[in-house]
Amino acid sequence: MRLVVTGRDGQVTRALQALAGPDLEIVALGRDKFDLAAESDPTPVFAAARPDAIVNAGAYTAVDKAESERELAFAINGRGAGRVARAAAALNIPIIQISTDYVFDGSGERPWREDDPVGPLGVYGASKRAGEEAVAAATPNHSILRTSWVYAPWGANFVKTMLRLAESRPELRVVADQHGAPTSALDIAEGVVAVARNLVARPKDSALRGVFHMAAQGEATWADFAREIFAQSFSRGGPCANVVSIPTSDYPTPAKRPLNSRLSIEKLAEAHGVRLPHWRDGLTRVMHELEQAAGRPRQ
């Protein structure tokens, strides 16, 4: 199977590239090949790669900066996603669109289901919702995968930020009233490949198409996540810090974050047979990769 993936340097794309092998080819397209913000038809670029499916993992992900760059966020996450989906339709192949928990307003305490009303709190979430709508309008042959709190051994993310700060600070104040599932890009990539294989193998199965939630099992607050990061880091001889729980109100940001980012993951398990590992297990895997990259073997 050959997948064309947008966003060459993104966390999910790099995780997908790491899975490449004899039966899986990943063709990652950067902005030099296709710019999601450009008003151009990407169909010839995708056609040249002869993909079995397209994964639109490229996105504008600067949540706070999006509040002052609304046009760019919508150009990439909204209209760009639509152009990718129209190319997939022209090539008669499925598209997998990576989306986010930020399409919800964060109210309530139960996990969000795929058919719950959306209500983005900021520009980033609204632009990703626009992308979902554009993909669905362009082709029925799609799977929209909403995920949450993504991190990886590479790129800029919460895990790497916590470890960097712990190098110089004995104590860190971390938000403890936002709830969700930290989800490793390594696990997301494996889930995406499984979904892609299903879509390609069963082109007429409508149950495999639509909106799905793909997040790790379990739930945590950002403070819970930070404490587990430091516990695992300490066990590996790495940096750690004491975590002080604070409310969101003590850490104001330009973009408002949803307090409830829990996602129901049952639909994906039932339709595609995909269930990601528990978030703590996903973190363990990423911590191992970071340890290996640092050349610090575990004692």
Reported as type and span, the H/E element at residue 165 is helix 158-166
Active site residues: 124
Token pair of 111 as six digits? 């996990």
- CA pair distance 108, 172, nearest whole angstrom: 28
Provide the 8-state DSSP code for 79.
I
What are the beta bridge partners of residue 26?
3
Q: Which residues contact 9 (CB under 8 A, 6 or more apart)?
A: 30, 155
| Pairing, β 220-221 against β 179-180 | antiparallel
In angstroms, how far is CA 31 from the centroid of its own chain? 19
CA distances for 245 relative to 72, 161, 168, 209, 221, angstroms = 34, 17, 19, 40, 10
Cβ neighbours around 232 below 10 Å, total: 20
Token pair of 15 as six digits? 């995780």
Residues 231/232/234/235 CA torsion (nearest 10 deg):
120
Q: Tell me the DSSP string of 12-25.
A: HHHHHHHT-BTTBE
Contact 161, 227 (CB under 8 A): no
Provide the 8-state DSSP code for 125.
H
Contact 276, 215 (CB under 8 A): yes
